[in-house]
């Protein structure tokens, strides 16, 4: 990405709009991964001073973390586990004692000693079988980088430690970094790497923080304190905007806010086309704090509860009780609507952090999601018990990620039956008819959708991964992000095939990838007969509005035309000509950049 333009000292950088909204503010560079470590010899006589220097830096780091902990707003308190674990790690023997041993034993400076510690700990973690524990190396890296920055004499300001609201500029923010961002202090964020369907981008949308990712080198272009405008709708960042830019982006910001108010106004009306076709519009949820947003945006329930973040927020594996209480809270607050709880989907991009160095594994094809759960029955059964117990308190559906074929479903069912018998024997209430679904996101699963449909109660299409795996494009890699193409004829056929197989077997087909939240794709999905769309709660109003504006009959005609396309360009052409006639007003404003109705994809596709 990143084609830059200049005018009167203002520069525009183009990246990928990852979370909509327009923000104005000062840049704040976070460079956790940019600490340079030099080796210095420390003579015998300097050793005690060096040890003192090291200890002081650790104390300062402790102080910083304690301050951050004290400042975490009440609503985010349950996520403070990450920081608490950092405090413990600072004084862990493996870090604290070892670093001092290296300083004295090898006569090296604190920085070098810490980097040796990091190498050593990395080696130990790599041998750990359980991926979840192995991935905690990211926390060790994070903590060591904090001390390194203090030693390097930087301010030590962290992601939380912001004096005033700023725009964060980072090489990369991991999902773990992102859950620490408070929308009060972070006006927007922009990163060198990333794509729209990465989990970091998904979280930004959940938190309502505008974001532009995939800017390639914004961290070396922008200086802390420079004025920025972030346009998360068009994916642009303006550095040192002149008066003219400021004025036009203020207008765009106003237009966007007005547009949102207008669409939210009708968001509690049912999602029904003008000729009576109904579709369920549900919310994807990551954090408990999102429940009020889910309700206020008019969701017909939670179509995807991603459960990874509870694991990220705790230092140790969360107990069955902790999980049960969290799920129960969601279920009770969303009742009478259903909640689809997906079992753990870690691996992939979930643990990539800003300090990740030289990782040579291929996590997207690794021990991710259901594969990890099936290899760690203790972890899996604790979560299954928590989900199934929560079913006693409302309408719960359980969803399994990354299923590639029938064998995995049979294995999963065995575990479910085991949990059913245990709970029954223990006299713990649960819903024996809990509905079971699978994510349809691996191409082989799509090819055998007819077989899988006999085994489960519903399908949920995970187009983020389906597109990643079928078009072979890493969903977190900005260099191939432009190849992400929901309108690829192969992708469209896979979606259609899944919906048809579900209906032939008498079960429902949902779609919960980011594609569901893009209004421009909604008419095609309706035309395929999709039963449910699940998306970021903030996308619900505009998607519902789109559904209410179209005719199912027209959508079917459009879908038939689009399905005949032999290239994505042809499919897009058919879609654009339909959108232009069905939504003249939105189409014009999307072209003027004031609306996210069709998003920049429409404007790009015809400009
Ligand atoms: C998907 O893959 O489309 C999906 C909804 O799941 P996730 O983004 O969590 O992988
Ligand atoms: Mg997925």
- Give the pairing of strands 211-213 and 186-191: parallel
Question: Residues with Cβ < 8 Å from 435, sequence gap 6 or more?
Answer: 397, 398, 457, 458
Name the residue of 199, 349, 465, 509 whose CB sits within 8 Å of the most ligand 1 atoms, as the mutation to test its pocket: 465
- CATH class (in words) of the domain with range 44-151: mainly alpha
Supply the DSSP string of 401-457, one letter for each residue.
Answer: SS--SHHHHHHHHHHHHHHHHHHHHHT----TT-EEEEEE-SHHHHHTHHHHTTT-S
* 369 Cα: distance to centroid of ligand 2 (angstroms): 9
- Return the pLDDT at 313: 67
Residue ranges of the chain whose pLDDT lies below 50: 32-34, 155-157, 352-360, 591-607
Q: Write out the two tokens for 553.
A: 């009959």
Residue 512 appears among annotated catalytic residues: yes
Q: CA–CA separation, 240 vs 63, rounded Å?
A: 35
Name the residue of 18, 349, 462 whose CB sits within 8 Å of the most ligand 1 atoms, as the mutation to test its pocket: 462
Q: Give the nearest ligand 1 atom to 304 CA.
A: 5
- Residue 548: other Cβ atoms inside 10 A: 14
Q: Which ligand is nearest to the CA of 517?
A: 1
Strand partners, 533: 281, 511
For the domain spanning 5-31+159-263, the CATH number is: 3.50.30.10
3-state helix, strand, coil in the chain (%, to 5): 50, 15, 35
Q: Give the nearest ligand 1 atom to 197 CA.
A: 8
Instruction: Please indicate whether the domains covering 44-151 and 267-606 agree at the CATH topology level.
Output: no
Question: Residues with Cβ < 8 Å from 314, sequence gap 6 or more?
Answer: 81, 322
Size (the chain), residues: 607
Q: Which ligand is nearest to the CA of 463?
A: 1
Q: Name the residue with the closest Cα to ligand 1, atom 6.
A: 462
* 285 Cα: distance to centroid of ligand 2 (angstroms): 14
- Return the pLDDT at 131: 63
- Give the pairing of strands 5-7 and 227-231: unpaired
Let me know the angle formed at the C-alpha of 159 by 154 and 161, rounded to the nearest 5 degrees: 70
* 49 Cα: distance to centroid of ligand 1 (angstroms): 51
Q: Name the residue with the closest Cα to ligand 1, atom 8.
A: 464
- Return the pLDDT at 55: 93
The CA distances from residue 263 to 106, 212, 281, in Å, are: 65, 23, 15
Q: CA–CA separation, 198 vs 193, rounded Å?
A: 10
- Return the pLDDT at 522: 96
Q: What is the pTM for the complete model shown?
A: 0.70
Question: Residues with Cβ < 8 Å from 485, sequence gap 6 or more?
Answer: 467, 471, 491, 568
Supply the DSSP string of 66-99, one letter for each residue.
Answer: HHHHHHS-GGGGGGTHHHHHHHHHHT-IIIIIHH
Instruction: Report the interhelical angle of 98-106 vs 47-71 (nearest 10°).
Output: 160
The domain 267-606 is classified under which CATH number: 3.30.2310.20, 3.40.50.300, 3.20.20.60, 3.90.650.10?
3.20.20.60
- Return the pLDDT at 592: 43
* 469 Cα: distance to centroid of ligand 2 (angstroms): 10
Q: CA–CA separation, 547 vs 278, rounded Å?
A: 9
Q: CA–CA separation, 155 vs 39, rounded Å?
A: 22
**Burial call 519-536: b when 16+ CB within 10 Å, e when fewer:** bbbbbbbbbbbbbbbbbb
Catalytic member of 28, 171, 314, 512: 512
Q: Which ligand is nearest to the CA of 350?
A: 1
Chain position carrying tokens 């449910």: 532
**CB-based burial of residue 5 (10 Å sphere; 0-12 exposed, 13-18 middle, 19+ buried)?**
exposed
Helix (H, G, I), strand (E, B) or coil at 396: strand
Domain edges within the chain = 5-31+159-263, 44-151, 267-606
**Burial call 328-342: b when 16+ CB within 10 Å, e when fewer:** bebbebbeebbbbbb
Q: CA–CA separation, 600 vs 444, rounded Å?
A: 32
Name the residue of 440, 441, 536 whose CB sits within 8 Å of the most ligand 1 atoms, as the mutation to test its pocket: 441
- Return the pLDDT at 220: 77
Name the residue of 342, 512, 517, 518 whose CB sits within 8 Å of the most ligand 1 atoms, as the mutation to test its pocket: 512
Q: CA–CA separation, 260 vs 541, rounded Å?
A: 8
Q: Give the nearest ligand 1 atom to 463 CA.
A: 3
Question: Which protein residues are within 6 Å of ligand 1, measured from CB?
Answer: 304, 306, 345, 441, 462-465, 512-513
Catalytic member of 28, 79, 171, 199: 199
- Return the pLDDT at 360: 38
Question: Residues with Cβ < 8 Å from 456, sequence gap 6 or more?
Answer: 409, 436, 437, 438, 507
- Return the pLDDT at 251: 93
* 85 Cα: distance to centroid of ligand 1 (angstroms): 28
* 100 Cα: distance to centroid of ligand 1 (angstroms): 44
Q: Name the residue with the closest Cα to ligand 1, atom 4.
A: 462
- Return the pLDDT at 546: 92
Residue 28 appears among annotated catalytic residues: no
């Amino acid at each position: 990405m990143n084609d830059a333009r200049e005018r009167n000292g203002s520069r525009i950088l183009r990246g990928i709009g990852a979370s909509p909204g327009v923000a104005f503010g000062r840049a704040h560079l976070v460079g956790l991964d940019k600490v340079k470590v030099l080796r210095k010899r420390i003579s015998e006589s300097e050793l005690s001073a060096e040890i003192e220097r090291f200890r002081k830096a650790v104390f300062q780091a402790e102080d910083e973390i304690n301050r951050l902990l004290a400042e975490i707003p009440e609503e985010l308190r349950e996520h403070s586990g990450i920081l608490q674990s950092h405090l413990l790690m600072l004084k862990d023997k493996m870090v604290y004692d070892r670093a001092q041993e290296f300083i004295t034993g090898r006569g090296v400076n604190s920085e070098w000693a810490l980097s040796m510690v990091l190498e050593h700990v990395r080696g130990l973690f790599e041998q750990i079988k359980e991926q979840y524990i192995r991935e905690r190396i990211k926390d060790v890296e994070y903590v060591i980088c904090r001390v390194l920055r203090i030693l390097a004499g930087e301010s030590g300001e962290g992601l939380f430690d912001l004096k005033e609201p700023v725009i964060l500029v980072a090489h990369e923010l991991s999902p773990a970094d992102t859950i620490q961002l408070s929308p009060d202090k972070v006006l927007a964020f922009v990163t060198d790497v990333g794509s729209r369907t990465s989990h970091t981008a998904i979280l930004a949308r959940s938190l309502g923080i505008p974001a532009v990712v995939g800017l390639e080198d914004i961290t070396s272009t922008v200086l802390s304190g420079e004025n920025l405008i972030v346009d998360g709708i068009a994916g642009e960042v303006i550095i040192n905007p002149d008066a003219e830019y400021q004025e036009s982006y203020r207008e765009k910001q106003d237009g966007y806010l007005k547009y949102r108010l207008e669409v939210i106004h009708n968001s509690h009306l049912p999602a029904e086309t003008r000729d009576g076709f109904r579709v369920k519009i549900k919310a994807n949820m990551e954090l408990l704090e999102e429940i009020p947003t889910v309700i206020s945006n008019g969701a017909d329930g939670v179509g995807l509860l991603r459960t990874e973040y509870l694991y990220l927020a705790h230092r140790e594996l969360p107990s069955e009780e902790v999980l049960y209480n969290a799920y129960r809270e969601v279920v009770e607050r969303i009742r009478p609507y259903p909640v689809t709880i997906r079992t753990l989907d870690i691996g992939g991009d979930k643990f990539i952090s800003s300090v990740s160095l030289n990782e040579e594994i291929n996590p997207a094809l690794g021990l991710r999601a259901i594969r990890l759960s099936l290899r760690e029955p203790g972890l899996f059964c604790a979560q299954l018990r928590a989900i199934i117990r929560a079913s006693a308190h409302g309408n719960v559906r359980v969803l399994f990620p990354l299923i590639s074929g029938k064998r995995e479903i049979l294995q999963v069912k065995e575990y479910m039956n085991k949990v059913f018998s245990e709970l029954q024997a223990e006299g713990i209430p649960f819903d024996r008819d809990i509905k079971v679904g699978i994510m349809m996101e691996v191409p082989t699963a799509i090819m055998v959708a007819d077989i899988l449909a006999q085994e489960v109660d519903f399908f949920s299409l995970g187009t983020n991964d389906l597109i990643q795996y079928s078009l072979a494009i890493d969903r977190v890699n900005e260099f191939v992000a432009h190849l992400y193409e929901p309108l690829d004829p192969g992708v469209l056929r896979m979606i259609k095939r899944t919906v048809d197989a579900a209906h032939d077997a008498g079960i429902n087909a949902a779609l919960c990838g980011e594609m569901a939240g893009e209004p421009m794709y909604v008419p095609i999905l309706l035309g395929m007969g999709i039963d449910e769309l699940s998306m970021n709660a903030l996308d619900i109003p505009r998607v519902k509005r789109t559904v209410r504006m179209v005719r199912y009959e027209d959508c079917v005609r459009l879908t038939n035309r689009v399905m005949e396309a032999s290239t994505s360009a042809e499919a897009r052409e058919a879609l654009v000509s339909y959108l232009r006639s069905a939504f003249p007003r939105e189409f014009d404003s999307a072209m003027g950049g004031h609306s996210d109705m069709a998003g920049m994809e429409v404007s790009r596709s015809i400009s």
